[in-house]
Amino acid sequence: MNKDILICGVGGQGTVLASKLIASAATACGETVHSAETIGMAQRGGSVTSHVRIGEDAFSPLIPSGSADLILAFEPAEVVRNLRYLKTDGLVLVSSVPVKPTTESLNDTGYDGTEMLTYLQSKCRCLIIDARSLCAPFGSTRYFNVAILGAAVGAGALGLAAEAVLQEIQKKVPAKFVDNNIAAFRAGMQIGGANGIK
């Protein structure tokens, strides 16, 4: 399998766990995996990306522009920021919930994400997910990182079986959060499988 997956969001949203789960699930399936994270100053409320590259002939640690098969986006503006990475026929799964920049309260720009989602729909195949209602049963949008993996599996876009990801959730998530994470993953699968992709 050759697959490039970009994960993007804002520091603190749990993008790193999502990338680790994909990488370890694919490795367990015998695939060669490379990944790269943005680390350092950018983490503090800044834009973050994880690049996961599955397959033998991925040389660059970061995905080249126009090569990502799939973008998993945790925030509307962040996916637009990273849209150049998407392949012509690539797919985007994105949370509709905007994260206002930490400086927004100082200089109000009125950012609410809607302009980004409209733009996104005009550019590519995408599935917009209301992370708030999806995660409501679990009490925190922090479960979105696992729910979006479920959506990708449900849409058949991750190239991995649900079981492969679920096994890694059991291994990598602290015991007391495993049940909620599995439930979030399954809820995501349903949304991804409901064929709402435009």
Partner 1 sequence: MKREYVMGNGAIALGALAAGVNVVSGYPGTPSSEIIETISKYPQPGLHLEWSVNEKAAMEVAASAAYAGARTLVTMKQVGLNVASDPLMSLAYVGVKGGMVIVSADDPGPISSQTEQDTRMFAQFCRIPVFDPSSPEEAYRMIQDAFVYSEKYSTPVLFRPTTRICHAYASISVPEQFPVHAYEGFVKDSKRWVIFPRLSFANHAMIEKRNPRIGEDFSAYAPNHFTGTGTKAIFASGVSYAYAKEYLKKYPDVRLCQIATPYPFPEQLALACLEGVEEVICIEELSPYIETQLQQLIGAHRLPVKVCGKLTGHVAPSGENSADSVARILSDFLGTAPADAGPDLSDMPALPQRPPVLCAGCPHRASFYAVKKAMQGKKSYFCGDIGCYTLGNAMPLDMVDTCLCMGAGITMAQGLHWTDPDAACFAFVGDSTFFASGMTGVVNALYNEADMTLCVLDNSTTAMTGHQPHPGTGRNMMGNIVDKISIESTLAGMGVKKILTVDPLDLSAAVAAVQECAALPGVKAIIFKSPCIAISKPTGKMQISEKCIQCKKCIREIGCPALITIDGKVQIDESLCTGCGLCSQVCPVSAIQ
DSSP 8-class letter at 84 = G
Compute how many other C-beta atoms are within 10 angstroms of the C-beta atom of residue 114: 11
Binder of partner 1 out of 60, 133, 190, 195 (CB under 8 A): 60
Selected from 24, 29, 167, 183, the binder of partner 1 by CB under 8 A is 24
| Backbone torsions φ then ψ of 88, nearest 5 degrees | -55, -45
> Of these, 49, 72, 85, 159, which contacts partner 1 (CB under 8 A)?
85
> Does 173 help bind partner 1 (rule: CB under 8 A)?
no
95 binds partner 1 (CB under 8 A): no
Q: Which of 6, 7, 17, 86 binds partner 1 (CB under 8 A)?
A: 86
CA angle 68–169–34, rounded 5-degree value: 35
Q: Are 72 and 9 in contact (CB under 8 A)?
A: no
Shortest Cβ distance from residue 151 to partner 1 (Å)?
22
Q: Looking at beta carbons only, is 193 or 197 nearer to partner 1?
A: 197
The correct pick among 17, 21, 54, 80 for binding partner 1 (CB under 8 A) is: 80
C-alpha angle 60-64-65 in degrees, rounded to nearest 5: 170
Show Cβ contacts of residue 187 under 8 Å, excluding neighbours closer than 6 positions: 134, 137, 147, 150
Among 37, 93, 94, 129, binds partner 1 (CB under 8 A): 37
Kindly state whether residue 49 participates in binding partner 1, applying the rule CB under 8 A: no
Q: Is 100 in the site for partner 1 (CB under 8 A)?
A: yes
Q: How far is the CB of 193 from partner 1 (least distance, A)?
A: 26
Cβ partners under 8 Å of residue 42, min gap 6: 11, 48
Q: Which amino acid is at 121?
A: Q
2 binds partner 1 per the rule CB under 8 A: no
CA angle 123, 143, 6 (to 5 degrees): 35
Interacting residues toward partner 1 by CB under 8 A: 10, 23-24, 27, 32-42, 44-47, 57-67, 77, 80-81, 83-88, 100-106, 108-109, 111, 115-116, 119, 123-124
